[in-house]
Amino acid sequence: LLADDGGVAVTIFAEMSAFAARTGAINLGQGFPDVDGPEYIKQAAIRAIEEGRNQYAPGDGVPELRLAIADHQKRHYGLDVDPDTEVLVTTGATEALTASVLALTRAGDEVLTLEPYYDSHAAAIGMSGATHVTAPLLPGPDGFRLDVDALRAAASPRLRMILLNSPHNPTGAVLTRDELAAVAAVAKERDAIVVTDEVYERLTFGAEHIPIATLPGMAERTLTISSSGKTFSFTGWKVGWLHGPAELVTAVRAVKQFLTYTSGAPFQPAIAQALADDDTPRALAASLTGRRDLLCEGLEAAGFTVTRPAGTYFVMADSSALLGRLGLRDGVELSRRLPELAGVVAIPASAFCRAGSPTAAALAGHLRFTFVKREEVLREAVGRLAGLR
């Protein structure tokens, strides 16, 4: 089933991390930080364990976390969210995404994503039996931008859901207000639900993150998803959430009951505390800006053409100018050979595209590298990559 879209029976991230471990290469494939989040957040989880919060949490999530999520959305975006009826805590954004797609779509529906897309978006659509349609996000002078005409053309009367992602993995694009307005117009015209994956909401480098739920008339048809993994550097805790109209949240909750029932109890009060902290994500975004520049400059020096990302952990780098001299056909071949050629692992763009699609062809030379690694690791990687030239 999952192999129909992209050929992934094992996720590309697990595959590439295993590849890095096997070859001893620096893993710039899977995006996770090599430095944990703040000590006080760890201590809050330890305290919760010691205080006995070790049995099933409420199915919706613990009240203080739901409240903290609602406060966060009000404080940052002016969104009014009812913590009792409009929030659901999930086991990472991954569960929120999959449960939303399973709850709200079925065979015969069409679900539109950007392409390239985060792998679990396609897998969730595959599991629901809905049909996956895409609109390309391709590199130009202003970074990766949405092809608005292609978006409109891809939206048929059977469109049930638009599965959006901004800041965008793998391209690092942060959708502009105009792009979001185009998405909103299509959703309204086709009476589609928008499910928006905003896990990198706090990790932008000067660009403004605009939740599509803040656009006129969109809150009533939008489920907004985020996760503490990226914002606070605790990807292994798997505390995510979604919020939106009570009716949609109720439908997703019904599915969540049979996926995980409830999510990890002691991590939730710790993340509730963290969500009041705006300094930690701000400092992370600032330090990521420097690390992004370090990696981008290194990739350029090694002969890649780089589209500098406005957010996320990731940069897309085009190897087309290098391939001929290396005697390689495309980014997939380069990603297979990269550990041996340069002692680095990266992920080919094709892992985020439909097999044989025009977007896959347009991005055939591209690889995704993560820069959420310590500066000394990135310096070592850049030094190794320089040998490609």
Which residues of the chain form contacts with ligand PMP (CB under 6 A)?
92-94, 118, 165, 169, 197, 199, 227, 229-230, 235, 238, 240
Question: What are φ and ψ of residue 213, in 5° steps?
Answer: -65, -15
Spatial separation of the C-alpha atoms in residues 94 and 340, rounded to whole Å? 32
Indicate the residue among 171 and 268 with the shorter CB distance to ligand GLN. 171
Residue 11 binds ligand GLN, judged by CB under 6 A: yes
Contact 83, 70 (CB under 8 A): yes
What is the token pair recorded at 83? 């913590």
Kindly list the distances between the CA atom of residue 360 and the CA atoms of 7, 243, 306, 367, 369, in Å, as whole numbers in the listed order.
13, 32, 17, 12, 17
Least distance in angstroms from the C-beta of 13 to ligand PMP: 8
Indicate the residue among 200 and 304 with the shorter CB distance to ligand PMP. 200
Residue 165 interacts, among ligand PMP, ligand GLN, none and using kind-specific CB cut-offs from 5 to 8 Å, with ligand PMP
With vertex at residue 151, the alpha carbon angle to CA 148 and CA 157, rounded to the nearest 5 degrees, is 140
Residue 267 binds ligand GLN, judged by CB under 6 A: no
DSSP 8-state symbol, 312: S
Residue 30 interacts, among ligand GLN, ligand PMP, none and using kind-specific CB cut-offs from 5 to 8 Å, with ligand GLN
Which of 31, 126, 172, 269 is in the footprint of ligand GLN by CB under 6 A? 31
Least distance in angstroms from the C-beta of 324 to ligand PMP: 32
Residue 18 binds ligand GLN, judged by CB under 6 A: no
Least distance in angstroms from the C-beta of 346 to ligand GLN: 11
Indicate the residue among 91 and 273 with the shorter CB distance to ligand GLN. 91
Kindly list the distances between the CA atom of residue 326 and the CA atoms of 218, 337, 338, 344, in Å, as whole numbers in the listed order.
49, 10, 11, 16
Contact 115, 353 (CB under 8 A): yes
Contact 248, 166 (CB under 8 A): no
| Residue at token pair 């976390």 | 65
Residue 197 interacts, among ligand GLN, ligand PMP, none and using kind-specific CB cut-offs from 5 to 8 Å, with ligand PMP
The closest of 10, 97, 29, 67 to 335, measured between CA atoms, is 29
Spatial separation of the C-alpha atoms in residues 132 and 123, rounded to whole Å? 10
Indicate the residue among 228 and 335 with the shorter CB distance to ligand PMP. 228
Residue 165 binds ligand GLN, judged by CB under 6 A: no
Least distance in angstroms from the C-beta of 217 to ligand GLN: 31
Indicate the residue among 30 and 98 with the shorter CB distance to ligand GLN. 30
Alpha helix positions (H), the chain: 12-23, 39-50, 63-77, 92-104, 119-128, 148-154, 177-189, 228-232, 246-259, 267-274, 279-301, 320-326, 331-342, 358-362, 375-385
Q: Is the peptide bond before 358 cis (omega within 30 degrees of 0)?
A: no
Residue 105 binds ligand GLN, judged by CB under 6 A: no
DSSP 8-state symbol, 221: G
Residue 240 interacts, among ligand GLN, ligand PMP, none and using kind-specific CB cut-offs from 5 to 8 Å, with ligand PMP
Spatial separation of the C-alpha atoms in residues 182 and 178, rounded to whole Å? 6
Indicate the residue among 13 and 144 with the shorter CB distance to ligand GLN. 13
Residue 169 binds ligand GLN, judged by CB under 6 A: yes
Residue 13 interacts, among ligand PMP, ligand GLN, none and using kind-specific CB cut-offs from 5 to 8 Å, with ligand GLN
How many chain residues are in contact with ligand GLN, going by CB under 6 A?
Answer: 5
Spatial separation of the C-alpha atoms in residues 250 and 88, rounded to whole Å? 9
Indicate the residue among 190 and 202 with the shorter CB distance to ligand GLN. 202
Least distance in angstroms from the C-beta of 186 to ligand GLN: 26
Indicate the residue among 61 and 303 with the shorter CB distance to ligand PMP. 61
Least distance in angstroms from the C-beta of 386 to ligand GLN: 24
Residue 62 interacts, among ligand GLN, ligand PMP, none and using kind-specific CB cut-offs from 5 to 8 Å, with none
- The residues that touch ligand GLN, with contacts defined as CB under 6 A, are 11, 13, 30-31, 169
